[in-house]
Amino acid sequence: MWLKMLAARFVGTFLLLGAVGDFRDVEPVTPREDPGAWREPAPGVGLRELGDATGLRIGWAVVPRELRRDAAYRQRVADGHVIVAENAMKWQVIQPAPDRWRFEPGDDLVRFAIAHGQAVRGHTLVWHGGLPTWLREPEEEWTPEALRAVLETYVTTVVGRWRGHIEAWDVVNEAVAGLFRDPLRTTLWRETLGDGYIAETFRLAHAADPGAKLFYNDFRIEAPNRKADRVEALLRGLLADGVPVHGLGLQAHMHFELPDEEALVANLERFAALGLELHLTEIDVAIPGEITVEQRIRQAIAMRRLTRACLRVPACTTMVFWGVDDGRSWVPRFFTGWKAPLLYDSRMERKLSWYGVADALREGRPDRRLPESVLLD
C-alpha cells in the first residue's frame, strides 16, 4: 500500500517530466517498468524468500567490522543467500607482510555465513589492485621464479585455509583491457610471469580446493562490447586448454547508462554458451549529481532490468550487490559526484531500487512464477 502511494507520486512526476522532455535520455520504458505497477512483497518477505521462490540467489558484499557492530546491517545481510568480503579477502589484508598472515576478518565472514545458511564467494586471488606494498613496490624487482613462488604460496595457503567453505572464488580479477589495442592489462603479474599467469592461477586454486567453483571476474562486460568480446576469447582459450574455469563474474558497476535488457540477455547468453555459470558479482547503479526523483526511478528500473536479464538466462544464478546501504558504499569515495548506488539508504530503509529488484524476482523466471502467498496487493 505504502509502495503504491510512493510510486504514484514518483510516476506522476515521471510522466510530467516525460511530457516536458526532461527525461529524454531514458530509453523507452515499458508499462511494467512503471513503479506504480510494481507489487510490494508481503510483510516479512525479503529478497531471500523471493529469490528462493524464483531460483535466483541474492548476495551482499560485506565488511566484517560492520557485521560485528551494527544489528540493522546484520539483519539486511542475513536477507540473502550469498556473501562476499568487500575487502577482507584481498591480498593486502590477508598477507600484509611476507611473513604475516591475517585470516580473522575472512573467518568472521565465513562464520556468519555458516550461522545463516549462506554461501561465500571468495574475492579475489589475483588482481592488480588490493596488493600489499611489499608486493607492489619490492626493494628489488621481482624475478619470475620469486614471484611465482609468492603466488603459489598465497593461493595454496588462502584457498586451502577456507577449503570447503568457499563456494566460488574470483580467481583472476580484471585482467582484460577494454580501451587499449593490447587485450590484456599490463600488471605486475603479466609483466613478470607472462600471459600464462591466468591459467597458472586457476590451476593452483583448483589443486588447493577441487570443490570450489573458479570464476574469472571483470567490469563493464555486461553489455556486448569490445571488452566482452575479449573476455569471451580469453575464456574460450582457457577452456580449450583444459584450464579449470567454471564461471564468469560480471561486476555490473553501472555508472553511466540505463542498461538495455535485451542486450544484457544476449550478452549473458553468449557467455552461458561457453558452459559457464554466471554471477553478477558487484552490482551498484550510481546516481550522478543531484539525487532527484527521476534519478531514483531510473536507478530502480536499471536494477529491475539487471534482475530480469539474470532471470531470463538459466546460467545466471546469483546477483551480488556491492554493499548493503548507500552510507557505506565505495562509490562516493571513488567517483566524485556519484552516489547512492545501492538498495538501502543510509538509514537502512528500502529504496525504490529494492522494490525494482523485488518486483523482477516476483515476476520470476519465464518458466517459474511466484506463489501469490508471498505478494501483497
Which residues are marked as active site? 174, 282
CA proximity to 220, closest of 172, 280, 134, 261: 280
Q: Is residue 126 a contact partner of residue 370, using CB atoms and an 8 Å limit?
A: no
31 DSSP 8-state letter: G
Which amino acid is located at 130 in the chain? G
Interface residue with ligand XIL, options 18, 49, 55, 87 (CB under 6 A): 87
Interface residue with ligand XIL, options 54, 118, 173, 307 (CB under 6 A): 173
Binding of residue 187 to ligand XIL (CB under 6 A): no
Does 13 sit behind a cis peptide bond, omega within 30 degrees of 0 on the bond before it?
no
What x-and-dash track marks residues 314-343 binding ligand XIL by CB under 6 A? ----------------x-------------
To ligand XIL, the closest distance from the beta carbon of 251 in angstroms equals 6
Taking the least distance from each CB to ligand XIL, the nearer of 92 and 157 is 92
Binding of residue 86 to ligand XIL (CB under 6 A): yes
Binding of residue 92 to ligand XIL (CB under 6 A): no
Taking the least distance from each CB to ligand XIL, the nearer of 281 and 317 is 281
Taking the least distance from each CB to ligand XIL, the nearer of 166 and 301 is 166
To ligand XIL, the closest distance from the beta carbon of 102 in angstroms equals 16
Burial (CB count within 10 angstroms: exposed 0-12, middle 13-18, buried 19+), residue 168? buried
Q: Which element (helix H / strand E) includes 168?
A: strand 168-173
Taking the least distance from each CB to ligand XIL, the nearer of 251 and 317 is 251
CA proximity to 243, closest of 274, 281, 282: 274
Binding of residue 359 to ligand XIL (CB under 6 A): no
What x-and-dash track marks residues 126-165 binding ligand XIL by CB under 6 A? ----------------------------------------
Residues 213-232 that bind ligand XIL (CB under 6 A): none
To ligand XIL, the closest distance from the beta carbon of 174 in angstroms equals 6
- Tell me the C-alpha distance between 193 and 86, whole Å: 27
Q: Is residue 40 a contact partner of residue 3, using CB atoms and an 8 Å limit?
A: yes
3, 91, 205, 273 from 158: Cα distances, Å: 45, 9, 9, 31
SS3 assignment, position 182: coil
Taking the least distance from each CB to ligand XIL, the nearer of 86 and 209 is 86
For ligand XIL (CB under 6 A), the number of binding residues is 6
Q: Which element (helix H / strand E) includes 20?
A: helix 2-20
* Residue partners of 87: CB distance under 8 A and separation at least 6: 63, 93, 130
Query: Which residues here bind ligand XIL, judged by CB under 6 A?
Result: 86-87, 173, 251, 282, 330
